[in-house]
Structure formats: structure tokens, C-alpha cells
Structure 1
Amino acid sequence: MAGLATSPFTANAATSSYAKEIAQKYILVDTHIDVPYRLEEAYDDVTQATEKGDFDHPRAVAGGLDAPFMSIYIPATLEKEGGGKALADRLIDRVEAMVGRAPDKFALAYSVADIKNNFKLNKISLPMGMENGTAIEGSLDNLAHFYQRGIRYITLAHSLSNHISDSSYSEDRPWQGLSPFGKKLITEMNNIGIMIDISHVSDQAFYQAVELSKVPVIASHSSLRYFTPGFERNMSDDMLLALKKNGGVVQINFGSSFVTEEANKYRDKVKSHVTQFMTDKGIADKKDAAAIAFEKAYKEKDPFPFASTADVVDHIDRAVKITGIDHVGIGSDYDGVGDSLPTGLKDVSTFPNLIQELLDRKYSEADIEKLMGANVLRVWQQVEDYAEKH
């Protein structure tokens, strides 16, 4: 995105003009932003400035964001209820409508070449990734359909195990990793040119996917388990080493509960205190007015412990230490983690704050370019090149 943005920039006072220049100079790719489902729940015109949410065009321009992957999010409950494919098509329609309303601001992107071309045209690319393979509905024809519609990565599962893969969140692990269809799907995704996203899957499924894939995989919005012990949704050090061997990238999630143990355990701590209060008072219904009042008072006394920009960069630091500079990137989860975003990184205008923290830690401009997007574009290009030959 050539030239510095003129729209308001939510920056820390210490953020330098150099950090802002870097944000504008190189292609900045964020592999997970939940705009389509946000609009499904409450419509907003993100081609203009919006009061709600974490993303809109002016803020994206201000932050230097060039290629936000629009997340085509499919709730895990639709695995049993049905309707996943229909919802996916509707959310893709929403992304296409964004471009249709503002073709001077946004452009669809189906390839790495599209990203680079749109960047030269000062347009924000809107590539798409599907969060939860439930929408495939067991059909390789549907895989081809979604490729034609622009899906370029698929998160194999979400918060519940599905017909493709076990989930990191689910106690139910029917497949002990990937299902027979899931294993076949890996091969077909390789052949058609869709990146395999291992965020959300169980450890077993991760290792099986890496073993089966002929090309690098991505973790589109995951952070490191080292900082959140016991939180399987994040990646362990051994998984990072396997990802490095595979050639893939981990895209760091900004959500505070992904970043610090204190934030990660906060919800359980609140629930424990509320449960104890209800037991002491003989209250059975959590919707009881006294229980609700107690929870509100507790949160006011002990508010949610937001992570910081520095905490996020701690994850980047450790991932780089383990995998090297070529295997780390950004997958913020903006519009997907509610109000849990770290101080200094509250919306898409704030990427220069992240860049400033990297500069303060002596990352070179070339290294920052890799973290901003060059690494994941390298993986995407490898996936494209493999598919062309198969």
C-alpha cells in the first residue's frame, strides 16, 4: 500500500514514523479476520468507518493491512444440525459484496500473484479461508466448489470434532486424529491448491496432517502453549519443530486468552467463584439475579487481565527462536476474539505498534517483512506450485 495513510491511526505514543513506514512499505498479510460472520450477526458497511468491530477499510489502510484473509467461519454445531455449506456460500457472497460495493478499495484475491498485483494498485486484497471443514459435508465435489469460489485454506475442524478431524477443544476424539475422509481430504487439498490449516485440531490430527501433506501447512491463528500450559489449542514446542521441518508457518493469534496464562485461566476463575457463591447461598439457577450481580461485582473488583503488545511479541520471539525467522507470521483473530484483544493491538489500525515492538527487540526490516506476510505468501506459493503439477 504505497504512501502513508491519512485516516486516523490508533498508535502508542512511542510508535515511530519508521514503524508506520514499514507497515505501508511491505505486504502485510493477516491470515484470520472474522469479518464475514461479524456481518452475519449484525450488518455493518466495512467499506466505510465503523464504530463497532475491529476491522473496516479506513482502519485497515491506517494499519498498513494489505491482505486480510476473510474467515468463512462455520459454527461447530452445524456438523450435526446441517447447513454448513449453505452458510459458507452466504458468507462468501458477503465478501464478494464488499468488493462489489467498493471496487476502488477492495479486490478479491485467488493467488499470490493477485495479492501482489492488488498491492501495486493500492487495493486491499480479500483472500478467503474457511474456518471449519464441516462445510465440506463429506464431498470432494464441495471441496472443488469452494476452491472455485475462492477458498484458499481450510481449518480442518473447529471447537468440536467433525467428520474430518478431532478438535483440540473436544473431549470426544472419535478418530484419534484424522478420519479416513480427512486423510483423503489432505491429499485432495494438496492437489487442488488449498492450504491445510491445523489451528483448532488435536495434536494427533496435527502430526498426521503434517505427515500426509506433500506441501507446507499453516496454523492460521494459533499461539504458543509454552505461555499457556495445558491449553491444547495453542502449539507445543515439539509441534513447532515439526512445523519447521514441514516448511510451514505459525500465524500468531492476538487474543489475550491465547497469549497469557492469566487471561487464559480468567474465565474458569470467575466461574469457580460464582459457583462457590451459588453453593453458599443455595442458588441453583445461574441466571438468578443475585448470581448475576455477584459475577458483575467480581469482574469489577478483578477485571479481565488484558495481554500487551509485548506479550504478543514474546510469542513471536519464542517461535522464531524455535523455528527460525521463516516460519512465523500474523493471524490476529480480529473480530473473532471479542473484547479480549491486548492493549496496543485493539484493531487493525494498530499493526505499527507491533512493528515498533519488533524494532525495539532489534528485528531487522527484512525480518519484519517476513513476519508481516512474506513467510505465509511463500507457503501459499509452494501450495500453488504443487497443485499446478498435479
Structure 2
Amino acid sequence: MKKILPIVVSLVLSISCSEKEKEVDYSLLSDEERLEMAKEFTKNTILVDGHMDLPFRMYNMGNTMTGDVYDFINKSDQGNIDYVRAKEGGMDAPFMAIYIPAGYQEKGGAKDLADTLIMMVERLAETWPDQLALAKSPKEIEDNFSKGLLSLPMGIENAAAIEDKLENVEYFYDKGIRYMTLTHGKDNLVGDSSYDDAETHGGLSDFGKEVVKEMNRLGMIIDVSHITDKTFFDVAEISDAPIVATHSSARKFTPGFERNVSDEIIKKIAEKDGMVMITFGGSFVDQSFSEKNTENRAHIQSWMEENGLDRRDSAAMEYIKTYMSENKPTVHVSKVAEHIDYVAKMVGIDHVGLGSDFDGVGDTLPDGLKDASMYPNLIAELMKLGYSKEDLEKICYKNFFRVWNAVEAIAKK
């Protein structure tokens, strides 16, 4: 029987964690009721996202040391996150990705760029101390949450940032970096990238093996997104600590896309008590979306070559805008929930989380999950699949906190 919405919400909010009362079965509610529940849930529960590319977007907009501080605090129509949209969606701890494009591996300056991006994140917290705060541990995120502050933890994306110096791992740990993605678009000095066919090292390099051990020693989380399968299994063999894919989805839904994690890798991550943080981009969650996206890119490239134009030409811009509006593929937020459900059913609810890649996947995000204000839509989809309040808490932060604390505990031994 359909329940009256205010009564249902009141019932759920009255349930204490210590009480043994039967929890409301969200799957029996209407879509409207579930969404209201999801909004209340995200407002009252810590929500951690494993990966957002805001720092590099700020950098591209000229917000460097000599520029103005990026206006993160007011609502914007650019990018996927700002303070207002984060609060609307219940986001409490978006990991700021200190992203180092692979080009810096050849031309140099990777460490300097990492330092600049870290400084930019620090400036956000310094500029708005009543709304924002850095965070270097689960305890600090919890403390910030209790004060109503949005936490800005940081992770490096692409170990090229440490260049060829092992001591730079500790340097960045001391600056607040709490995870490091080992590669990005190209093989680097640490190991091989899933986007590169060169297989330079055939997995982890000897230097990469020392980097993994050093990360274990310091208590820095190893992020296995972006690496080849061979590199992953080298990491899994060497690391004493749990490992995390901070922004990857299940390869089951995108056959042949090595950037996503295979069933075998998912099982190994769980075996090591780590987790997969499901990413949101359409090409990561849906094969048909990916194929159509590839087809569109090929068509546009061919059209520009035939007409002697490039993307900067006004005629090309107009054509691309019209063509994409008529041919753009779509995918629904429910597909992201399907990936979460797939991992949870395979290895258990303790090994899955959220890693949007907001500000890093352009306009490929699913309907209903376009920016940080829309997390309740995803939570509502999980409720529809039968996930309980306890399950959702694990997905949103408890799993990641468990892994993070375990990594730090191993470092202290």
C-alpha cells in the first residue's frame, strides 16, 4: 500500500542505529518517496567521492598562484561541482585529483604542476574557512562534517608527479596527498597504462615496485585505476595494504575496455580488503554509449578533414554543436547503480564506493547524474534495488574509511 510521504520520512528519521526495529524497505516506496528519502539520507550521512578533477579545471581557467582564487563557493554553470551544488547533493568529501597529464612526463615539470595544483586547493580552504577545510584522515573528515564544513582531501592522479625520485612520495604525503594513481594516459616510470599499448615494463617497473612499498610504509593509498591488468597484479602481489580503484567501473559492461576493472581484478581487490569506486562517465558504464561516442568522434574528424577545418573554426564549431545535439548518446543514472550492484553481488557490499570523475569526463555524464547536486538520484536508484540504510552508508563512506584506516594501520606497524 502506498504510504503518505511525510509519515514515511518521519518514520525513517526516527529509527536509531541502536534500535532493533525493522528498517523501512525502500524498494516498496514510490519513486517520489525514495527520492525524498535519498535527499534526507545524503544530508545526514557523510558522502565521500574518490575522484574529482576540479583542481586541473581551475588551472586551465588561469587560477594559478598569480591569478584570482576560483569562485568555488557560489553556484556556477561551469563544471560539475561547486560548494552550492555539493551541499545540495549532500557531498561532504570530494577527493581533489592532482592530475598530471602524460605530456609532462616528456617535457618535464610534473612535480611543479602537482605543487601548483595542491597550492590551489589549499587556497580554496584558506579563502573560505567557514565552508571548506582540508582533510588528511577519516577523523578529520568526520570532524569537518560535524562542523558543517566541506572537506577537500587530495590524491595525485599519475605518479609521474614524483618524477624519478622515490623521496618525492614522502614529500607529497607530507603535503597532504593520501592516494596516488600510479599511471594515467601513457606508461610512466612506475608502470604501464591501460590506455597505452607499448607495455614498456610488462607491468610494474623495478622503480614502481619500490614506489608501492614506499606508499605502504607511509600509509598512502594505492590507486589502481588507469593501470594495465599486468601492472595491477604486480601491485596486488607486492602491496601489504588494501588497494583501491578510485574511479573505475566494471568491465563486464564494456568488454575489452581495460580502463575498467575485470571480474578477476574486482575479486582480487576484495581479497585484499580494498574496494572499487564506481565512476560515472557514459563510456565507462555503457557499451552502446561508448560505441556511439566513438562513432561521433570519427564522423566529426572525417568531416573536418574533408572540409579543411579544425575545431577552432567557427563553421566547425557550429557543425559539431548541431551534429552532437542530434546524435549525442544518452545513458541513465540507473546504469551507474547497476555497476555498483554488480560489484556488491560479486564480492560483497564492503568493497564498493563512489568515484564520479566529475570535471574529468566532459559532457558524457548520465541523465540524472550531471553534477554534484544529483547524488540523491543515484542513492534513490540503489534504494529501488533494495539497498538498506546500512548498505548505503557503507557505499557512501564506511567502506572507504575502513580501507583508509587499514592502510594507515599497516604503515604504523
With normalisation by structure 1, the TM-score equals: 0.91
Q: CA shift at 1:306, angstroms? A: 2.2
Q: CA shift at 1:339, angstroms? A: 1.2
Q: CA shift at 1:298, angstroms? A: 4.0
Q: CA shift at 1:267, angstroms? A: 3.2
1:222-255 CA-to-partner distances (Å, cap 9, x unmatched) read 0011111111100111111111111110000011
Aligned to 2:335: 311
- Give the direction of change, closer, same or farther, for the CA distance of 1:87–1:275 in structure 2 (3 Å limit): closer
SS class of match (1:229): coil
Q: Is 2:117 aligned against 1:91?
A: yes
Structure 1 unaligned blocks of 5 or more: 5-11
1:375-386 aligned at under 5 Å gives the runs 375-386=399-410
1:21-32 aligned at under 5 Å gives the runs 21-32=40-51
1:233-280 CA-to-partner distances (Å, cap 9, x unmatched) read 00111111111111110000011111111221223212444566679x
SS class of match (2:106): helix
Structure 2 unaligned blocks of 5 or more: 1-12, 14-30, 64-69
Aligned to 2:20: none
- Give the direction of change, closer, same or farther, for the CA distance of 1:108–1:236 in structure 2 (3 Å limit): same
Instruction: State the identity %.
Output: 45
Measure, in 1, the Cα distance between the counterparts of 2:296 and 2:356. 25
- Give the direction of change, closer, same or farther, for the CA distance of 1:350–1:276 in structure 2 (3 Å limit): closer
1:35-57 CA-to-partner distances (Å, cap 9, x unmatched) read 11111011431022222111111
Measure, in 1, the Cα distance between the counterparts of 2:410 and 2:226. 25
Indicate which of 167, 171, 179 corresponds to 2:197: 171
With normalisation by structure 2, the TM-score equals: 0.86
1:68-83 aligned at under 5 Å gives the runs 68-83=94-109
Aligned to 2:353: 329
Q: CA shift at 1:13, angstroms? A: 5.9
Measure, in 1, the Cα distance between the counterparts of 2:116 and 2:106. 19
Whether the 8 Å contact between 2:34 and 2:383 is mirrored in structure 1 is no
Whether the 8 Å contact between 1:134 and 1:163 is mirrored in structure 2 is yes
1:104-115 aligned at under 5 Å gives the runs 104-115=130-141
The size of the alignment, in residue pairs, is: 376
SS class of match (2:94): strand
Q: CA shift at 1:381, angstroms? A: 0.3
- Give the direction of change, closer, same or farther, for the CA distance of 1:191–1:15 in structure 2 (3 Å limit): same
Aligned to 1:7: none
Measure, in 1, the Cα distance between the counterparts of 2:50 and 2:93. 8
- Give the direction of change, closer, same or farther, for the CA distance of 1:45–1:360 in structure 2 (3 Å limit): same
Q: CA shift at 1:121, angstroms? A: 1.2
SS class of match (1:267): helix
Q: CA shift at 1:143, angstroms? A: 0.8
Indicate which of 289, 296, 302 corresponds to 1:270: 296
Indicate which of 325, 350, 355 corresponds to 2:379: 355
SS class of match (2:386): coil
Whether the 8 Å contact between 1:15 and 1:353 is mirrored in structure 2 is no
Measure, in 2, the Cα distance between the counterparts of 1:296 and 1:53. 18
Measure, in 1, the Cα distance between the counterparts of 2:56 and 2:371. 17
Q: CA shift at 1:26, angstroms? A: 1.6
- Give the direction of change, closer, same or farther, for the CA distance of 1:382–1:359 in structure 2 (3 Å limit): same
1:176-206 CA-to-partner distances (Å, cap 9, x unmatched) read 1111000111000000010000000011001
Aligned AA (2:82): D
Q: CA shift at 1:293, angstroms? A: 6.8
Measure, in 2, the Cα distance between the counterparts of 1:343 and 1:197. 28
1:190-229 aligned at under 5 Å gives the runs 190-229=216-255
Q: CA shift at 1:16, angstroms? A: 2.7
Q: CA shift at 1:295, angstroms? A: 5.2
- Give the direction of change, closer, same or farther, for the CA distance of 1:278–1:49 in structure 2 (3 Å limit): closer
Q: Is 2:315 aligned against 1:301?
A: no
Moved more, 288-297 or 114-123: 288-297
1:297-348 CA-to-partner distances (Å, cap 9, x unmatched) read 543432x212211011010011111111000000000111111111111111
Aligned to 1:374: 398
- Give the direction of change, closer, same or farther, for the CA distance of 1:16–1:236 in structure 2 (3 Å limit): same
Measure, in 2, the Cα distance between the counterparts of 1:224 and 1:178. 22
Measure, in 1, the Cα distance between the counterparts of 2:330 and 2:185. 23
1:249-288 aligned at under 5 Å gives the runs 249-274=275-300
SS class of match (1:60): helix
Whether the 8 Å contact between 1:270 and 1:295 is mirrored in structure 2 is no
- Give the direction of change, closer, same or farther, for the CA distance of 1:104–1:197 in structure 2 (3 Å limit): same
